[in-house]
Homo-oligomer: A and B are copies of this chain.
Amino acid sequence: MKNVIVGQSGGPSPVINSSLAGVYVKAKEMGADIVYGMRHGIEGFLQEKIVDLGTVLTDQAQVELLKKTPAAFLGSCRFKLPDPEKKPEVFEQIFALLNKYEIKAFIYIGGNDSMDTIRKLSDYAVSSGSDIKFVGAPKTIDNDLAETDHTPGFGSAAKFIAAMTKESIRDQVVYQNKTVYILEVMGRNAGWLTAATALSRGEDCTGPDLIYLPEVPFDLSKFREKVAQLLEKKNAITVAVSEGIHDAEGTYICEYASADKAVDAFGHKQMGGTASYLTQYCAAEFGCKVRPIEFSTLQRCCAHISSLTDVNEAFASGSKAVEAALSGQNGLMATLVRESGDPYVCTIGLSDVHYISNVERCVPLEWITDDGSGISDEFIKYARPLIMGENPPIMVNGIPYHLVLK
């Protein structure tokens, strides 16, 4: 038996299921007997929650429907594998289960925390003499993985953010009174998604007036000055901020409102509240109407406006990951390689997960304007190709239809 197992981990994305589809289709093409899906990632696998994907993806239409379904089809988890030296029993349990189901290739679709899982498992396989191969497929709307030009998920989230920013700006400019709109976008340390609000710029839209990324310290008094200047010139001011903007001392702006933020399994502080704080601040400073708009989790599940480029690259990177594992490669992640910018050409490569896990790739400082409140055209050139093309949903009863695991 030559079986494959695939899992999804971390925050969902609009195209994480396209990667799953890519793994499934390529694995079957390469002669895999059973392609198992782990429910809720490695956490669910440890509870032996698995599904035979062949019983769900029964024809090509189901595979296409999977590519139009947002959020982890198999379920996800935020589970950090322990160090194998400290808790070898967890690894022994995982490998016993893998052997029980005659798994030859283990594919994990996720971000840098998930690549930490691939790193630990692939290292353990080598040190314990197992011939099971572990390869990662990249996934994160945050676009913060090292070794890859961009990540599957970013293009679709960026497309939604750019489209909604543009539609919002249309909504904002209708009145003659002074109003400040604060758009809050996901991104703890990397501002890629916030930068994507600049993709709304065009001959029919000015884009946000101010854009603040976490790559550059946020200075509240300089911000106040900028907004005050803008309010003298125009009525509706649009400010886009990353949830993770912080001051020069490293204090998150959202902590200005309340200092005791919860911490997740990986020790990351829970974000949120930045727009809310800046709304109160601006209302008090300027005495005008201020409206926060938080894209919240909508930006990671917006499959109805996903980018076809992104969908196809997610599929291809899933295919590449399982192809590598079934060809005997181990401890790698599929990467997106930009061969050419204009015309845009992207191929799929492979990189060692040791260079990827627990590393965050941020927006280059030279793509942020000198005063830290804008985005250069270099970013636009980089990001524009990633949001191109449509993968329209299958509409049933007026809304998108999804493939669901029951």
Contact = CB atoms under 8 A, between A and B. Distances in A.
Interface of A: 8, 12, 40, 43-44, 69-72, 75-78, 159, 162-164, 166-168, 170-176, 181, 199-200, 202, 204-205, 262, 276, 289, 291-294, 296-298, 300-305, 307, 384, 387-390, 392, 395-404
Nearest to A155: B398
Contacts of A205: 402, 404
Enumerate the 10 nearest inter-chain pairs by beta-carbon distance, A residue then B residue, closest first. A387-B398, A171-B301, A71-B170, A76-B174, A167-B301, A71-B171, A72-B174, A163-B399, A388-B398, A204-B404
Contacts of A307: 398
Nearest to A304: B163
A303 to B, nearest CB: 6
Given A167-B71, A293-B298, A296-B292, A174 B400 contact: no
A402 B72 contact: no
Nearest to A400: B163
A71 B43 CA distance: 46
A171 B304 contact: no
Contact of A12 (B171, B399, B403): B171
A113 to B, nearest CB: 14
A264 to B, nearest CB: 9
A291 B298 contact: no
Contacts of A199: 397-399
Contacts of A164: 298, 302
A400 B166 contact: yes
A378 to B, nearest CB: 16
Contacts of A172: 71, 297
